[in-house]
Homo-oligomer: A and B are copies of this chain.
Amino acid sequence: MSRVEVCSARIPPCSGRAVELEAGDELVVIDPMGQQVSDLTAFSRDDTAEYLSSGRSIDYASKLWLSTGDTLYSNRSTPMFTILEDTCGRHDFTLTPCSKKMFEIIYGETEGRPGCEGNLAAALAPYGISVDRVPIAFNIFMHVAFDAEGKVAVLPPLSRAGDHIRLRAEMPLIVAMTACSAGQSNNFSYKPIDYRVERLAG
């Protein structure tokens, strides 16, 4: 059986979208112009109390930076995604989405922008998922490094134009994604993110 594209869209700069996946669907997240992060989170459609867990995924993989062949787990230790392809190879799974408060606390903006947290929450609102429940996201293409003392550096993404990651849904999912609003995560050039959903035909 062949795969068909059931959805294809562009997420404008500094915004977010939600998409529903069936088990077996493949979600391809593309950086069309290069150096642009997309924060991604997910919830089980059967019970939204089950969500994508950074801590479980890092623990079971025994590594911080996940790539092709790795599994992303839920808080219930159930596989949510398998990474089938990854042309970039570096993503973050430790930091919370940028947020109004983060822009105020870290970057001194007097009136912070909604950030990925606000954009994920807006995309998830129709599903009854509130901003309090937006967890640490899988920050696709985000380049975070830690030195020997554990100091965090957020570096320009390593992704080049056209780089993508392909995730297979392992259960029915509500997925929310952004084109990240933090200058550090797009080298201060706020760009879009593309995605498509592929499904087995028939």
Q: Interface on A for B, CB 8 Å cutoff? A: 49-50, 53-56, 58-60, 62-65, 75-77, 94-96, 99, 101-102, 105-106, 130, 132-136, 146, 149-152
Contact = CB atoms under 8 A, between A and B. Distances in A.
A136 B56 CA distance: 9
Contact of A59 (B60, B63, B76, B95): B95
A149 B77 CA distance: 24
Contacts of A133: 49
B152 A58 contact: yes
B96 A49 contact: no
Nearest to A49: B132
A108 B197 CA distance: 35
B58 A94 contact: yes
A132 B133 CA distance: 11
B64 A150 contact: yes
Given A58-B94, A101-B77, A63 B149 contact: yes
A94 B96 contact: no
24 contacts: A49-B130, A49-B133, A50-B132, A54-B55, A55-B94, A55-B95, A55-B96, A55-B135, A56-B102, A58-B94, A58-B95, A59-B102, A59-B106, A60-B102, A62-B151, A62-B152, A63-B149, A64-B94, A64-B146, A64-B152, A65-B150, A76-B101, A94-B94, A136-B136
A99 B55 CA distance: 12
